[in-house]
Amino acid sequence: MRGAGRAAIAAPHLRTDRWWLQPAVTFAGLLAFIVYSTWRAFANADYYAAPYVSPFYSPCLAENCAPMKGGPNWEIFGSWWGLSPALLILIFPLGFRLTCYYYRKAYYRGFWASPPACAVAEPHKTYTGETRFPLILQNMHRYFFYAAVPVAGILTYDTVLAFRDEDYEWGHMGLGTLVFLVNIVLIWAYTLSCHSCRHIVGGKLKHFSKHPVRYRMWQWIGKLNARHMLLAWASLISVALADFYVYLVASGVFDDPRLF
């Protein structure tokens, strides 16, 4: 931002590289996900193809869900809920990603140009950071992390259920099982690489030597944390692909190829 106390440089920036490329790619990638996930969340159809349930629709919290044998169906919201059941659950993973430190940087740059890139002045006249409503709510990220952990646990359960065939017999694997396995590994890697998780595990300690287990876990999480941006994108793509796979099978585009 320009203003008193800042160097009086007339040029908008002095960068000579293609600094706009990263925010442009970020904008396109996030927009594609928003469009796709909005369509799928409101579709309220083709989210279950035995034995797979779309990660966008699990756990099911309303009575109007497709019957998922053995799946996480808790009809907390009863029959009065007439909209898509995905809307009841997506708020948690969505809130987790929306308040994520990496995604904040990504969409502040890609969507709001605040700032567009390092050392490029932003077009806005004032800057209040995250000190006021609504952006002060970004500080709830830790609580969304607490909500994201059980959701990841439920998706793990769904992945275990994917080791059945379409008649619910155990000990089978289809291409969809592999898709679900890759997705759940990436979901956990992204969730555990969270900055809040790193602080919960290793923060507020005066002496690491007195907490060797937490220190070891903090080191592991630190290694994941260094790849948080990569994991954010990989898990975003994998969760959309897992949903799309279920959509293709459920809508009859092709049958899930059985591996054994």
C-beta of residue 57 within 8 angstroms of C-beta of residue 158: no
Instruction: Tell me whether residue 92 or residue 101 sits nearer to ligand FES (CB atom).
Output: 101
Q: Which is nearer to ligand FES, 66 or 187 (CB)?
A: 187
What x/- string results for residues 178 through 207 when contact with ligand FES is judged by CB under 6 A?
Answer: ----------------xxx-----------
Helix crossing, 21-43 with 101-112: angle to 10°? 110
The residue among 229 and 241 lying less far from ligand FES, judged by its C-beta, is: 229
How far CA 41 is from CA of 33, 38, 57, 170, in Å, comes to 12, 5, 8, 29
Q: In this complex, which beta carbon is closest to ligand FES, that of residue 58 or of residue 196?
A: 196
**Nearer to ligand FES (CB atom), residue 177 or residue 235:** 235
- State the nearest-atom distance from the C-beta of 102 to ligand FES, in Å: 5
| Cβ-based neighbour number of residue 20 at 10 Å | 14
Of these, 102, 108, 188, 245, which contacts ligand FES (CB under 6 A)?
102
Question: Using CB under 6 A, which of 101, 157, 163, 244 touches ligand FES?
Answer: 101
Q: What gap in Å lies between CA 178 and CA 143, rounded to an integer?
A: 31
Under the binding rule (CB under 6 A), the answer on residue 236 touching ligand FES is no
Determine the size of the site formed for ligand FES (CB under 6 A).
9
Which residue ranges make up the site for ligand FES (CB under 6 A)? 100-102, 141, 145, 194-196, 228
